[in-house]
Structure 1
Amino acid sequence: MNRKVKMINWGGLIPSNISFDEMIRIAKRIEQSGFSSFWYPDEKFFRDCYVALTLVAKETSKIRLGPCVTDPFSHHPMQTSVSIGSLAEAAPNRVVLGIGAGGRGLREIGYQMEKPAVAIRESIEIIRKLLAGESVTYSGRTKSIDNLPLDFPTPYKIPIMIGTGHGPFIQRLAGEVADIVLLANLCSTEAIAKGLENVEKGAKKAGRSISSLELIARVDVSVNADRKKAQSAVAPKIISALRSSYPGLEYLGILPDFDIPSRLIQVLQKKDHKTKKFYSDPQNSAPLIPETLYENLAIAGTPSEVALKIREISSSKIFTEITIAVVPQQGESLYQAYDDFIEKVMPLV
């Protein structure tokens, strides 16, 4: 892989469970601090993704922004095209469409999330044509549309980013069809290398080089002078990531040998809201997480430890951006958590 990126660009992934006021404060802070991207999830039961991104677009001037990620199940490609095309008008030359398999909330409202790689591929094919101004007829395995265009023009070509998660099929698909590839929740060099290997296979299938793609590493980050407290704070994120891929945990096989506690498996098997809420409390989730998972599925520790881990990920000069989802510590606001990262970690990277 012949690719060398000269410097780190930063992205911020902001959760949709905070107020719009705090979200806008964070967006302004990270833009002023030189971040390249502001990403916002499209999750069910939380604040609306496109409302949030439009507010951020109007309160910022340079930072690029987009959903990270929307899904191909709860939105028809026409609906996604309308939303992202409208956002592009509100934020000239700054919008990216992030799409992936989807996560929390889909099964609870009746979506089975079948054939995710096929659904993503077919959605992208339709969306690209609609955004290009075409009247689209398409009949696929999961998506269809009959001779319909967008009824308004999009002002520029919108890049499409695939958030890959851990599955090899979507990693390969991203290499094949995406403009931007986001590798999510991978912090070990071995797991990252395997993910990039799959992306490269997809790129070769499409007759292009992986060096033609923008590659982003997305990591959960928890910073505390007490390493154990930093790990505890990020534990619910790790459980959420494991649950979203369960029972497909084969990707953990590349990590150093460790045993998954039987109690953790029992928790991952339960999908009800009561269980999820209980283990969203670090006091309940932290004891379940083996040290190996703390080391490889998140970056948690003191400022110097976090900076060192980020340097390890960026040292290959392959990624054009490191996107961080900062986890606040007990009693800390998310704005304070990002401010701490900017002041205490970034100068050390």
Structure 2
Amino acid sequence: MSLRLSTVILPVDRWHEGGRAKWQRAEELGFHAAYTYDHLSWRTFRDGPWFGALPTLTAAATATDRLRLGTLVTSPNFRHPVTLAKELISLDDISGGRITLGIGAGGNGFDATALGHEAWTPRERADRFGEFVPLLDQLLTEGAVTEYGARYSAVEARNIPGCVQRPRLPFAVAATGPRGLKLAARHGQAWVTTGDPSLYEEGTPQESVEAIRGQVEKLGGACAEIGRDVAELEKILLTGFTPDRRRPLDSVDEFVDFAGRHQELGITELVVHWPVPDSDFAVDQVVFEKIVTEAPTQLR
């Protein structure tokens, strides 16, 4: 299988002042998919413009024709399965069945406490994620759902006519721990990693590759436990958080080397950040587009 190349477009531009143009250009360049972060604010962008993920994706759906679209990732931090399901079914309809839901347990920074609750512990996040994903799966595949959980419930929640994609739109589950990997194995059509966060500051690229290799092996173990072939899952690496930093986007050769090493691990989709000037994602736009158009041919 050839390696797919996708992008993540941060929602930092007004739609009519450059926002629309980025999504349309992503389609023109031939990206497999374009994602956006589902946050209320994020890191160094907290004091600048930042727009909502689902309205942005709705606009992108009407501005493009072929590009797959999605979140990378949505989390329970400020979402509820019942309302999220309704919005996703609507978005899948508007896009003509081009939506992938990237979903993760969320973190404890940035916007995690924006609704006024205390930051959840890692155990609490895992517990909530363990309820959130199965209930969302059920809501997107059944016309009416009543389910009572410890943290999330649905009472005669109606989701007719359901997704355009059947039985529902695909889930790309971000996970590295045992509980999350089990959710990916059971409910995911894809799995997402950013690598090993502990290696970001002091690790080496080779250590990062070995860490991701270990993650892929653990995913395989989680699939084997339920009798599923791990090859059924797409394996997505969101780049920019490994020790390589932005180096793979310095040139076509650097990117092809980086991509090839990860393709050998079983990664099937690489996601690169669309350039954002004066930020951690500031790279040369001309070089970026050269990589997008030339690297895939070298990787086939």
Q: TM-score, normalised by structure 2?
A: 0.79
Q: Does residue 1:319 correspond to 2:241, yes or no? A: no
Distance in 2 between the 1:333 and 1:192 partners? 22
Post-superposition shift, 1:337?
A: 4.2
The residue type equivalent to 1:177 in the other structure is H
Distance 1:339-1:172 versus aligned 2 partners, 3 A rule? farther
Candidates 147, 154, 169, aligned match of 2:156: 147
Checking the alignment, whether the CA contact within 8 Å between 1:100 and 1:162 is kept in structure 2 is yes
Provide Cα deviations, 1:262-310, integer angstroms capped at 9, x if missing partner.
xxxxxxxxxxxxxxxxxxxxxxxxxxxxxxx633x66456313233222
Q: What is residue 5 of structure 2 aligned with on the other side?
A: 10
Q: Does residue 1:194 correspond to 2:190, yes or no? A: no
Q: What is residue 90 of structure 2 aligned with on the other side?
A: 86
Where does 1:1-349 land on structure 2 (aligned, <5 Å)?
A: 5=1, 7-20=2-15, 21-45=17-41, 46-103=50-107, 104-111=110-117, 112-114=119-121, 115-150=124-159, 152-156=161-165, 157-164=168-175, 166-185=176-195, 188-220=208-240, 294-295=243-244, 299-300=247-248, 302-303=250-251, 304-316=253-265, 318-328=266-276, 330=278, 337-344=284-291, 346-348=293-295, 349=298
The residue type equivalent to 2:229 in the other structure is S
Q: TM-score, normalised by structure 1?
A: 0.69
Of stretches 337-346 and 184-193 in structure 1, the one that deviates more from structure 2 is 337-346
Post-superposition shift, 1:53?
A: 0.2
Q: What is residue 199 of structure 2 aligned with on the other side?
A: none
Alignment gaps of 5+ in structure 2: 42-49, 197-204
Distance in 2 between the 1:299 and 1:207 partners? 39
Distance in 1 between the 2:280 and 2:173 partners? 31
Provide Cα deviations, 1:290-333, integer angstroms capped at 9, x if missing partner.
xxx633x66456313233222211234x2221111245454999
Distance in 2 between the 1:75 and 1:329 partners? 30
Identity score, percent? 21
Compare CA radii of gyration and give the structure with the larger one. Answer: 1
Distance in 2 between the 1:143 and 1:306 partners? 42
Alignment gaps of 5+ in structure 1: 221-237, 239-292
Distance in 1 between the 2:40 and 2:210 partners? 32
Of stretches 78-87 and 24-33 in structure 1, the one that deviates more from structure 2 is 24-33
Post-superposition shift, 1:172?
A: 3.8
Q: Secondary structure at the match of 1:69?
A: strand
Post-superposition shift, 1:109?
A: 3.7
The residue type equivalent to 2:191 in the other structure is V
Distance in 1 between the 2:277 and 2:261 partners? 24
Post-superposition shift, 1:85?
A: 0.7
Distance in 1 between the 2:279 and 2:260 partners? 28
The residue type equivalent to 1:175 in the other structure is A
